[in-house]
Amino acid sequence: MTESIPQQAKELEAGDHKAYMKFALSLTTNSPPKPTNYRVGAVVVDIATNEILATGYTLELPGNTHAEQCCFEKLAAKYGIAASRIGEVLPNQVALYTTVEPCSQRLSGNLPCVDRILAIGNKIKTVYVGVHEPEKFVSDNSSKRKLEDANIEFVHVPGLEKEILEVATAGHEKAS
């Protein structure tokens, strides 16, 4: 499974976190709107070369898959290894952009995204998020604390919250 990265994404400037977040947001529209999950987009970037290593969005792969999980599973498939071993093949400095804070608990029984990030080891240096996870499905998301405790920088990229939440919650019942 070889991933095709759109040309405009290949032209993103290193350090332009808002542009990377906008690209992650563009991925979310591929995710089907459902009342039981958020539509999230994620991008894994080699910090040294500014190369996009993987992209993902909610429910891109079979099963109840989250965006970050899809990125990691696609990387594992690319290298022909188990997803739990991708830290062995990743560059030494990787950033993860995700429109919604990685989950700290999965109601489906799947491994939470924050635990997937931590399992990769010290390769992911920074996690950039567009919005903190709303408390609809899991209250008191502990991802930020867990990442910071593991010396992984957690950075909120401001300015796209309204758009991210609008797309993320498509298919949800709106409160009146």
Task: Point out the residues that are catalytic.
Answer: 68
Residue 49's Cα: distance from chain center in Å? Answer: 19
AA letter at 81: I
> Is residue 12 a contact partner of residue 88, using CB atoms and an 8 Å limit?
no
Q: Greatest CA separation found in the chain?
A: 49
Element holding 10 (H helix, E strand): helix 7-10
Structure tokens at 1: 């499974």
Which one, of 79, 99, 96, 84, lies nearest residue 27 by Cα? 99
Residue 104, sorted as left (phi over 0), alpha (psi -120 to 50) or beta, turns out to be alpha
- β-bridge pairing 153-156 and 41-46: unpaired
Distance of alpha carbon 85 from alpha carbon 89, whole angstroms: 8
